[in-house]
Structure 1
Amino acid sequence: MLDFSMTIGGRQVAGRDVFAVHNPASGAVVGHAPNATLADLDAAVAAARAAFPGWAALPDDQRAAACAALAGKLGEHAEEIARLITLEQGKPLGALGSRFEMGGAQAWAGHTASLSLPMAVIQDDSAGRIELHHKPIGVVGSITPWNWPVMIAIWHILPALRAGNCVVIKPSPYTPLSTLRTVAILNTLLPPGVLNVVTSDDRLANIGAAMATHEGIGKIVFTGSCATGTRVMQGAAPTMKRLTLELGGNDAGIVLPDCDPAAIAEGLFWGAFINNGQTCAAMKRLYVHDSLHDAVCDALVAYARTVPMGDGIVEGMALGPINNRMQFDKVARLVADAARDGTVLLGGAPDDGLFFPVTLVADLPADAPLIVEEQFGPALPIIRYHDVEEAVAAANDSDNGLGGSVWSRDADRARDIALRLDCGSVWVNRHGAIQPNAPFGGVKRSGFGREFGEQGLAEMTELQTVFC
């Protein structure tokens, strides 16, 4: 049984109560996490506020070195944390699973540590000198989801720390253990209070909502659903908190008629089904030209049959279960509806427990729920189109705008079409391939603000103009 404490002010805090964390592959209890109260949150915020002046005053090169050391520490404990991720999240250890996630966490941490936001001079002449300075905000509140629990935590934590802020993080109640352990490990290198973690299943207190309204928190970084993001934004309004919201996506991929179906099948599959489709920027809708539609369907079915699904702790698995019952039931509902109106090419019938087979569905009407709603699971609608203008219009006909992709042998033509898609990121001949040096975020209801790179680091600061 794995039981961890919260880290508040550099100390391990057990909490008044605990809640169970389950392995989605077996249903077994993995461990228990502390169930925080509002007093625990207040203590974490107070610790962060107390640590802030000293952390913010560090010379920039010292803070960069400290953040680089955090990246190294993640590498030292990568296998330990990866196993925790698999046990509580369900993704496999290998393939594009927990070890991949930890590699990404270390890469993002290392790159973020190397970034800086030096003072810029925008005028220096006889009329005067004007400087632009990036200053830390104070305490950053981080609320993270269950799909990539440690990598997204690092996306939030490292730029906040690198910019001179202190952090209070609340992970999802489905996957708190890996974050609790990660924060405890990182605290061995940080001054007390710089990085704090509280966990809750909301039975004692709604900690996420309290973070949004807390007067001691200057910014919230939230990754999760559009509905919860809306509530975070509403809660933050009275205190005028700064916000970065990376919300849901309903990403479209467009396959042009010059493609080779066999050549793109693997890329299409993993663009849609990485992490079992439980990824905000995974492909959720696939538009294929009429001349290739059947061949692309056949190639995807053939490739999907080669991908093993099972308990992620067993080496050799490539896909695991859906993480939780609520998400499983949503996918099952959408697939059942699609089976009535379309053609199920593969999958469709749920397996035991939370395992849901890779499901491919064709011949759906444009208003089918599996097309209109974000499924966030292993089910992909494949939609036939006749003209590229039709495909672009359909791809843009969504309240979301996180990512998109265009597939073609003609890279220039694909880029021209990509520029017409209403989304924050767009890829040519791949999907979802994010990088730590490339800004990432959504438009429309997929949120606002950017993460990664210098732009993401700047989001963790206030800009001050100095007239000399």
Structure 2
Amino acid sequence: MESYDALLASITGTTETKTILDPATGAVVGEAPIHCLEDLEHAITAARSAQPEWAALGHDKRRAALLNAADAVERSAEELAQLLSREQGKPLNGPNARFEVGACAAWLRAAAASSLESETVVDDGETRAILHYRPIGVVGAIGPWNWPMMITVWQIAPALRMGNAVVVKPSEYTPLSVLALAKVLNEELPEGLLTVVAGGRDVGERLAEHPAVGKIMFTGSTATGKAIIKSSSGTVKRLTLELGGNDAGIVLPDADPKAIAEGLFWGAFINTGQTCAALKRLYVHDDIYDAVCEELTAIATATPMGNGLDESSVLGPLQNKQQFDIVSSLVEAARDSGARVLVGGNPDVDQPGYFYPTTLVADIDDNNPLVAEEQFGPALPIIRYGTVDEAIAMANGLDAGLGASVWSSDLSAAREVAARIQAGTVWINKHGAVDPRVPFGGSKQSGYGLEFGTEGLKALGIPQVING
């Protein structure tokens, strides 16, 4: 286990670099290397060289390596969390930096434990067909800035488990976190098998079109996902795309406002709202609308926001100025349209950091931009509805379909509503609770392909039927 300073020094660039600033304070976190297309070529060459021997180890030895990698993450957990908090902005405590590092270890172990046996499709005495899954080869993983370590592990753990090598292109906002994570993982992995190329858009574009890369896994915006589809089409790459979400939550009239308020709050404001599958628009029945608003306002007012290194903070800044401006603009437009700001808004622009206060917006039209566009920040619009059919129609009215939730005291009624919602995952009385054993993926323009568990492993392999 290295000290924080030693870990940071080990990943700092020695040639061309980019200064990374703390979004909470504006202080320098470190110097990230700016890798180029030549670096990418070296990484892909190394991956191609390392992959066959890794695949030949077999599932049991690859499982053992992933378990050792999880141990390595835990040995450096506090140093990784400190770096993550400084670079991304999320607090150490709450469902934030320490939680994210812990999830990295958990997902590595889950990938190691997942089973993927050959499947006998037909064996009737005349025909014998067995379905197997073979490694793809080299997988390209392009990740986001909101959960940079955890989502990178979501991508690389099943890829490695299946016998692939991986080249990672992190977000330009959070390269240090991913470089540090990879350094720790590589303590237990063969050389060249996992490489991070911390470059710009040109590196991502080349990775997506490179003929030696057999699959791209991408988490990020729908616009970038569409660009990757185009870039990858020339080589007919396999794709798993987890794209933008604008998740709806529907509170049925029989729900208990006090009982569900905490779950609603963290469903919306986990990671200060910077989560693809966060609750981003909340539909509440007229009968309990005011009570739900009151309960959420009480929690929002009492939840501390501040510098991530302050042990009392559980909400932090937005990660970058661009996202701060988007949230601020959407809230102000909602206010100007006549919507009622229950709490928040009016950020203090004189303080350092990209802090936007926890904001609840009531009495807002369903077609307001704060509802119709993904805000990706700490501002939740709360929309009234009169009938369940009306709520379902509004929930299904957008092109996004990553996640959704239904809140009710009647599980049977909630499940009936959930079945009518167009989303890859619909949670009941919770929101955004991902599980490494449970498949996860989007519908509509929120992407395609599944991650996690056995289905996630299958997505990182090439199906082969041996018939005879």
Q: In the alignment, is the contact (CA less than 8 A) between 1:16 and 1:36 conserved in 2?
A: no
Deviations 1:63-93 (A, max 9, x none): 1111111111111111110111100000000
Q: Does 1:347 align with 2:344?
A: yes
Specify the alignment match of 2:365 in structure 1: 365
Aligned partner of residue 84 in structure 2, secondary structure: helix
Q: In the alignment, is the contact (CA less than 8 A) between 2:69 and 2:187 conserved in 1?
A: no
Q: In the alignment, is the contact (CA less than 8 A) between 1:155 and 1:452 conserved in 2?
A: yes
Deviations 1:377-399 (A, max 9, x none): 00000000000100000000010
Specify the alignment match of 2:243 in structure 1: 247
Deviations 1:350-406 (A, max 9, x none): 123300001111111221100000000000000000001000000000100000000
Specify the alignment match of 2:168 in structure 1: 169
Structure 2: gaps (5+ residues): none
Matches of residues 411-450 of structure 1 in structure 2 within 5 Å? 411-450=411-450
1:201, CA displacement in angstroms?
A: 3.8
The one-letter code of the counterpart of 2:463 is L
Q: TM-score, normalised by structure 1?
A: 0.96
1:226, CA displacement in angstroms?
A: 0.6
The one-letter code of the counterpart of 1:28 is A
Matches of residues 372-411 of structure 1 in structure 2 within 5 Å? 372-411=372-411
Specify the alignment match of 2:292 in structure 1: 296
Work out the CA distance in 2 between the residues paired with 1:381 and 1:453. 33
Aligned partner of residue 245 in structure 1, secondary structure: strand
Deviations 1:329-366 (A, max 9, x none): 11111011011121111111112330000111111122
Q: Does 1:89 align with 2:88?
A: yes
The one-letter code of the counterpart of 1:429 is N
Specify the alignment match of 2:254 in structure 1: 258
1:15, CA displacement in angstroms?
A: 6.5
Deviates more, 1:87-96 or 1:347-356: 347-356
Specify the alignment match of 1:11 in structure 2: none
Specify the alignment match of 1:33 in structure 2: 32
Specify the alignment match of 1:62 in structure 2: 61
Q: In the alignment, is the contact (CA less than 8 A) between 1:15 and 1:36 conserved in 2?
A: no
Aligned partner of residue 122 in structure 1, secondary structure: strand
The one-letter code of the counterpart of 2:340 is T
Specify the alignment match of 1:281 in structure 2: 277
Q: In the alignment, is the contact (CA less than 8 A) between 1:4 and 1:177 conserved in 2?
A: no
1:123, CA displacement in angstroms?
A: 2.3
Specify the alignment match of 2:212 in structure 1: 216
Q: In the alignment, is the contact (CA less than 8 A) between 2:324 and 2:354 conserved in 1?
A: yes
1:21, CA displacement in angstroms?
A: 0.9
Deviations 1:18-75 (A, max 9, x none): 1111100001110011101100000000000011110111122111111111111111
The one-letter code of the counterpart of 2:175 is P
Work out the CA distance in 2 between the residues paired with 1:110 and 1:126. 39
Specify the alignment match of 1:24 in structure 2: 23
Q: What is the Cα-based RMSD across aligned positions, in Å?
A: 1.2
Work out the CA distance in 2 between the residues paired with 1:133 and 1:156. 21
Specify the alignment match of 2:317 in structure 1: 321
Q: Does 1:140 align with 2:136?
A: no
Q: In the alignment, is the contact (CA less than 8 A) between 1:19 and 1:201 conserved in 2?
A: no
Specify the alignment match of 1:10 in structure 2: none
Structure 1: gaps (5+ residues): 7-13
Q: In the alignment, is the contact (CA less than 8 A) between 1:21 and 1:173 conserved in 2?
A: no
Q: In the alignment, is the contact (CA less than 8 A) between 2:306 and 2:313 conserved in 1?
A: yes
Work out the CA distance in 1 between the residues paired with 2:461 and 2:270. 32
Matches of residues 110-259 of structure 1 in structure 2 within 5 Å? 110-202=109-201, 206-259=202-255
Work out the CA distance in 2 between the residues paired with 1:4 and 1:286. 45
Q: Does 1:459 align with 2:459?
A: yes
Q: In the alignment, is the contact (CA less than 8 A) between 1:4 and 1:33 conserved in 2?
A: no
Give percent identity, aligned residues only.
Answer: 54
Q: In the alignment, is the contact (CA less than 8 A) between 2:359 and 2:379 conserved in 1?
A: yes
Give the number of aligned pairs: 458
Deviates more, 1:173-182 or 1:402-411: 173-182
Aligned partner of residue 130 in structure 1, secondary structure: strand
Work out the CA distance in 1 between the residues paired with 2:308 and 2:213. 37
Aligned partner of residue 309 in structure 1, secondary structure: coil
Work out the CA distance in 2 between the residues paired with 1:93 and 1:179. 17
Q: In the alignment, is the contact (CA less than 8 A) between 2:72 and 2:187 conserved in 1?
A: no
The one-letter code of the counterpart of 2:357 is P
Could you list the runs of 4 or more consecutive aligned residues of structure 1 that deviate by over 6 angstroms after TM superposition? Answer: none
Work out the CA distance in 1 between the residues paired with 2:317 and 2:102. 22
Deviates more, 1:274-283 or 1:176-185: 176-185
Q: In the alignment, is the contact (CA less than 8 A) between 1:15 and 1:35 conserved in 2?
A: no
Work out the CA distance in 2 between the residues paired with 1:208 and 1:246. 16
Q: Does 1:42 align with 2:41?
A: yes
Work out the CA distance in 2 between the residues paired with 1:126 and 1:256. 54
Deviates more, 1:119-128 or 1:398-407: 119-128
Q: TM-score, normalised by structure 2?
A: 0.96
Q: In the alignment, is the contact (CA less than 8 A) between 1:4 and 1:180 conserved in 2?
A: no
Deviations 1:145-192 (A, max 9, x none): 010111001000100000000000011111111111111111111111
Deviates more, 1:134-143 or 1:65-74: 65-74
Work out the CA distance in 2 between the residues paired with 1:5 and 1:87. 15
Work out the CA distance in 1 between the residues paired with 2:336 and 2:68. 54
Work out the CA distance in 1 between the residues paired with 2:40 and 2:115. 30
Deviations 1:214-238 (A, max 9, x none): 1111100000011111111110010
Q: In the alignment, is the contact (CA less than 8 A) between 1:348 and 1:357 conserved in 2?
A: yes
